Structure 1
Amino acid sequence: MALIKLVNFKSFLFQKDVSECLCRRGPDASSRYDVQGVPGYKVHFVGSVLWMQGRQLFGQPAIDNKGNVLLWNGDIFGGKLVRIDSKVVRHRAEEISWKAIQLLFQSGNTETSDTKVLLDALGEEVPILQVMCTVRGPYSFIYWNNTSKRLWFGRDRIGRHSLLWQINTLSSMLALTSVAKKSRPEFQEVPACGIFCAHLDENNGTYLFLSELNFCLDSIHLHPWSDITEDEISSFKKESFELIISPIKIQSPVFLPDAGLFLTGPTTDDLSPFTQVEHPSSSHMKLLEDLLKDRALSSRVHDLISILKKAVKVRVKTQLDACQSCATICNAHNRSTGCKEGMGWNKFGGDLEVKSSVWVFKSEVHSPTEINAKIQYFNSTDQVSADMNSVHIEDEGTKRVCQHCKTAVLFSGGLDSAILAALAHEFVPSGEPIDLLNVAFERPRPHREMSRKERKQGNKQRADKFDDVPDRKTGRQTWAELRQLHPERNWNFVEIDVSQEELCLERSRRISDLIHPLNTILDDSLGCALWFASRGEGTLVLPSGDNSGYISPARVNISLEDSLPMTLFLTLAQVVLLGMGADEQLGGYMRHRTTLGQRGWQALLAELRHDLARISTRNLGRDDRILSDHGRQGRFPYLDEGVISYVGALPPWHRCCPIPSLPPGVGDKTLLRLAATKLGLYKAACLPKRAFQFGSRIANSKEKASDVSDRL
């Protein structure tokens, strides 16, 4: 996203290592802007852009005609940006007249980047908090209001995108960035508890100047989300500076129920569908089918599927109508020809217009090496104008031919990813493949030198040892189920095999910096697994008995020493769908069963709420840093505001029923399992929960997940 520094008159050099990390997150454009006219301060903005929305790439830092500056790492998927009469708004939230709200922008604008939409809205005479509370979608942002000399920043309520901060009163510095290397231990994650504001006007008392070359950073104001508890706020307070809690809160866009909401607990009628149905232990599938016969249960399943469809649809549709490679070529061409707003690649099925003709991409991209070479080639504007071998001109009205994969799914084959793949099928154009990214890790080998014979046997058995990984087995099983359910779709099953050597190399070279500032064994396992999976580089598997299959534009045959030729594949998807958030909301963990058995339904509800409330600090910021390192965007349909609000309004016994008579594979995430059954995913619906780190076999079960990892 960006790096910003607030410093005194002493010179400050931007850290090269941070800038390099930012450019990997935003490979399509980067720029720097320095704010002028702030006595005693230098304010520097650096922005790197991953082009995901809008007809034309909208660069960052984004600056309006008033000198306001926006750094935006997010997507507006829903809600409204609203305009409120400034005369109505005073200093107290209860004085806001909601009748004065008027529609300013409707999200989902297919022609304009949401960065521009938000910049325009923030530039109006509208309270910034009222603008931000209407945004539905994942984000982190930094906004400089040039008139008030205030710096606003924060993350969405769920904390789906990363933002780190460093506040050092001794060196007179505040830094905000999406990612920082582990050599900068002072950086910590900005808590997703509200919107923060720092005042830079030397007359307002927030910052006290001690001399011309020094100032004291006393405090930062926090406007908390309306559903943040006092205990949660207390846990965020820093000892190094004073955090002032504003009485003006922000209306939360999601519904997080209080643990005391369902005081009475379930009635006999509530649990009767689960206690009265016959459930032979050998047929979980039959049990789920019988449960769907209950009218009330079936109605809730229908509602959940409907709202999940909306969440998946907006995440599939809201992206460029070009794959990673073609979008890079298009962006380079736009730069070389000086395209204005209104020209370029239309993200929703439009054309790349050049006067009266249409540029159409040929499907001639092949291997990862060729893709990188082509990207570097077209980053040269001279080469773009001199040689357009990757495009040709058709008569006006010709439609695009970039039918490469644009949407991938992190695919263990389990319940959560199976549902995402099935729902994505409904919204991905029929001529495009969907890449199913399945990662597996090699078991650690004994610490001794292998003989030549052992090395030779090891190469020959390479496929076999990865075939035994649990997620590889379930992945192939559910892939077959998807092919049977939707045979018209090209499902690219990508087997991503990671050796111990490669794991150690990439962990030390890059992944440990992305996991920072988190540092536990669990962070290590999940971060590494997610990095390799989202890189999307592996072996493309053809269905058994299919000698032709779908030949991806990213395929190439290579030969490895002492091994047969294998097919190397690199996904071209810009968007990766992930299943984070399903377990936390719908009762997917084994400890949820334990909690219910020992302390009852109220305790289970409290635990579900706690799980969702802490998901931003546990993994989402880390996951965003990991995924974005490949120039892709991770999207989490289960953490859509609509999904969270719907599920949050349900009592826990309507989400899951982990009672003794309903074993794992039925009683956990029962509502979601019924949804999978209704979608025709009968086998996937019955698969037991398996943690990603164990399913991919990267983790050692003998290690304690909460311990600090000495490998990072």
Structure 2
Amino acid sequence: MCGIHVSLSPSPQPISPHLETCLCNRGPDFLGKERRTVSNGWSLSFTSTVLALRGDHVTKQPLTHPASGSVLCWNGEAWQIGGRQVERNDGEAILDLLVTASALPCALEGVLEILRAIEGPFAFVYYDGVTKSLFFGRDRLGRRSLMFRPGDVPGALTLSSISESCDPSWKEVEADGIYCLDCSTNSQSARHDWLPDGRDDCISSIGSFNTSLPSSKSVLTSSSLVVGALEEQLLKSLRLRVLNIPNPPPLDVSSSTKVAILFSGGLDCTVLARLVHELLDQDQGVDLINVAFENPRVIAQLEKDAGGKPVNFYEACPDRITGRKSLAELEMVCPGRRFRFLAVNVPYSETLAHRDQVISLIHPHNTEMDLSIAHALYFAARGQGIISVKDTNLGTQDEPYTSQARVLLSGLGADELFGGYGRHAVAFSRLGYPGLVDQLLLDVSRLSKRNLGRDDRVMAHWGKEARFPYLDECLVRWAMETPAWEKCDFENGEDISGVEAGKRILRLLALELGMGGVAKEKKRAIQFGARTAKMESGRVKGTNVIS
């Protein structure tokens, strides 16, 4: 995870101290700056901050190639380039390939070919010193943030991981292709599709969606081959995301906990925790971060129901209840693994104290729902809370704990891929499999339009990198190619498999992994599970603009 800020202007534009501090929050390991003057006399100013999570050293950014004058600001993870896994620092590998491509007769196509070959979450800005072109963009699913703002004079442009203010001129760069600007003429940026042939049937430029319908009644059970295939896909995705994470510099001792999971206790995140156990060495701990908020509106009702008696409202939060129950099941099926259940309790006063900061980070998103979700992710990523420690003399004691893990795993994406939302059941009840297929296709096609840029800005503020195993390109491609009835099974009741139809493939995998309770957990939105929604009034709508 890194911070990027690039400005193209008639004269050098210094970055504001406030924005530089925010970028350093994203990348606390290194701050670097570069400057280039293009042929028309305009100035390109580059600022990068680094959170070192790849390779055996802190790679300084912006990455430069002195001979050509090229500069790369890279924020992300290139798991593979052209189908080959990247073993060294990915930013350095990408710059080498881009510089080589720039020297070819068809430099533009060569650069585009390299960028199109990258698989992983990323945002980037690349200045080609040979062609005087500025390339920028976000990956196909938009998992990393990149924003832009036109300058005060025609042709001027600022690109940044985060906005300098809630100025409405700041917009998110769309995750729909690679943008290119000729710096010598400052012409309007051109967009190049992620796929060179611009195929219309390729969703998010990743793969084609299987719209076929079953020719006869089908039943999805634990013995279905597709359940084992999903496990293989998830393990492949997780290997990339949890193995070989370096120790935070400048520490030279082995950290026992490098991975944390955003943990509501629900199906998606608990399956990830269970499979992470299969991959990590036994001596490595895993932090399970569970957030609960002091919600005045809900507390008033709880105390009323309790006849005025004190209520432990944090422990009464739905996600706290589910989280502790799922933890118990994990500990039973994963003996010897040190799962730390980190209870993050957020007082209402602290929510208010950080409100302006969160609003600034989520900009240009500005609804009550955006704020509710962002509050939960923001405090979860901070990773400060309480863990229970067993003492042979004193019994179980609560102690303050701050997670040192810099990699956060999220279960986001599973509902869209495998039919976990209530609207999927409604679509099937109305129109059968044709309606379900249409709804799944719509949801998958909107993955790149999701609020991943917003979430990136909120969580990266604490020097953490969110990783989304369900949104690995290979897994998404496989899920799109899998027919609907092999992912969710609304045609058959629970009596056949023992679990509900929504995301049945994932529920059956949980059963196979020994977690019967987790397999039956209901879907619950984070803002309701952590109780960040409607803190003052139950009449507030999620679509309302933040006041």
Common topology (TM > 0.5): yes
Q: Which one is further off, 659-668 or 306-315?
A: 659-668
Q: 1:546 to 1:159 in 2, by over 3 A?
A: farther
* Aligned residue runs from structure 1 range 387-398, under 5 A: none
Tell me which residue corresponds to 2:95: 119
Deviation at 1:707, TM superposition (A): 2.2
Contact 2:116 2:195 in 1 (8 A): no
Q: Aligned residue for 1:226?
A: 195
Structure 2 residue matching 1:626: 3-state secondary structure? helix
CA distance in 2, matches of 1:686, 1:499: 31
2:267–2:507 contact (8 Å) kept in structure 1: yes
User: CA shift at 1:403, angstroms?
Assistant: 3.5
Q: Which residue of structure 2 aligns with residue 489 of structure 1?
A: 337
Residue 411 of structure 2: aligned partner: 579
SS at match of 1:180: coil
1:4 alignment partner, SS class? strand
Whole-angstrom distance in 1 between the partners of 2:75 and 2:341: 30
Query: How far did 1:461 drift?
Result: 4.6
Task: Name the structure 2 match of 1:419.
Answer: 271
1:507 aligns with 2:355: yes
State the shift of 1:76 in Å: 1.4
Contact 1:31 1:46 in 2 (8 A): yes
Give yes or no for contact 2:4–2:47 (8 Å, CA) kept in 1: yes
Amino acid at match of 1:184: D
Task: Tell me the equivalent position of 1:668.
Answer: 502
**Higher relative contact order (Cα pairs below 8 Å, separated by 6+ residues):** 2
Deviation of the 1:318 alpha carbon: 4.2
For structure 2, the 5+ residue unaligned runs are 105-109
Code of the residue aligned with 1:570 in structure 2: it is: T
2:245 equivalent among 308, 311, 319:
319
Written as runs of structure 1 = structure 2, the 5 A alignment for 1:622-701 is 622-659=454-491, 661-662=493-494, 666-700=500-534
- Give the conservation status (yes or no) of the 8 Å contact 1:588–1:689: yes
In the other structure, the counterpart of 2:211 is 262
Which secondary structure state, in structure 2, belongs to the residue aligned with residue 328 of structure 1? coil
Counterpart-to-counterpart distance in 2, 1:665 and 1:528: 32
Counterpart selection for 1:108 from 86, 101, 109: 86
SS of the residue 1:124 aligns to:
helix
Q: Distance in 2 between matches of 1:253 and 1:614?
A: 12
Distance 1:231 1:505 in 2: 47
Structure 2: distance between partners of 1:528 and 1:414? 19
Q: Does residue 532 of the first structure (1) align with residue 379 of the second (2)?
A: yes
2 CA distance for matches of 1:176 and 1:412?
A: 34
AA matched with 1:541: S
Cα 1:681–1:228 change in 2 (3 A) is farther
CA contact (8 A) 2:195 2:205 kept: no
Report the secondary structure of 2:271's partner residue. Answer: helix
* Partner Cα separation in structure 2 for residue 403 and residue 119 of structure 1: 30
**Aligned partner (choices 68, 78, 84) of residue 70 of structure 2:** 68
User: Which deviations, in whole Å up to 9, do the C-alpha atoms of 1:660-682 show, x marking residues without a partner?
Assistant: 73499510001111111111111
1:370 — aligned with what? none
Q: Does 1:308 align with 2:234?
A: yes
**Preserved CA contact (<8 Å) 1:4 1:45:** yes
Contact 1:403 1:431 in 2 (8 A): no
> How far 1:612 sits from its partner (Å)?
2.7
User: What pairs with 1:416-565 in structure 2 (closer than 5 Å)?
Assistant: 416-444=268-296, 461=310, 464-508=312-356, 510-542=357-389
The answer (yes or no) to whether the contact 1:48–1:60 under 8 Å persists in 2 is yes
SS in 2 for 1:439: strand
Q: For this pair of structures, how many residues does the alignment match? A: 527
The within-5 A match list for 1:161-176 is: 161-168=144-151, 170=153, 172-176=155-159
> In structure 1, how many angstroms separate the alpha carbons of the residues matched to 2:358 and 2:95?
33
The TM-score normalised by the length of structure 2 is: 0.90
**Among 328, 341, 358, the residue aligned to 2:249:** 328
Question: Which SS does the other structure have where 2:250 is aligned?
Answer: helix
Say which SS state the counterpart of residue 8 (structure 2) adopts. Answer: strand
Task: Look up the equivalent residue of 1:686 and give its one-letter code.
Answer: K
Given candidates 395, 406, 430, the residue that maps to 2:258 is: 406
Shift of 1:131: 0.6
Alignment of 1:107-186 (within 5 A): 107-109=85-87, 112-125=88-101, 127-168=110-151, 170=153, 172-186=155-169
State the shift of 1:14 in Å: 2.0
**TM-score, normalization: structure 1?**
0.70
Distance 1:665 1:589, change over 3 A: farther
**1:423 positional shift:** 0.9
Give the distance between the partners of 1:228 and 1:643, measured in 2 at CA: 23
For residues 46-86 of structure 1, what are the alpha-carbon distances to aligned partners after superposition, in whole Å with 9 as ceiling and x for unaligned? 000001111111111100131110000011112437xxxxx
Q: Deviations over 1:76-118 (max 9, x none)?
A: 112437xxxxxxxxxxxxxxxxxxxxxxxx4331xx3111111
Matching residue's letter, 2:467: R
Aligned alpha-carbon RMSD (Å): 2.8
Structure 1 residue 329, shift from structure 2 partner? 2.6
Contact 1:665/1:689 (8 A) holds in 2: no
Task: Provide the rounded CA distance (Å) in 1 between the counterparts of 2:196 and 2:394.
Answer: 56
The equivalent residue for 2:107 is none
Aligned equivalents of 1:544, 1:601: Cα separation in 2 = 55
1:138 counterpart letter in structure 2: P
Following superposition, the deviation at residue 467 of structure 1 comes to 1.1
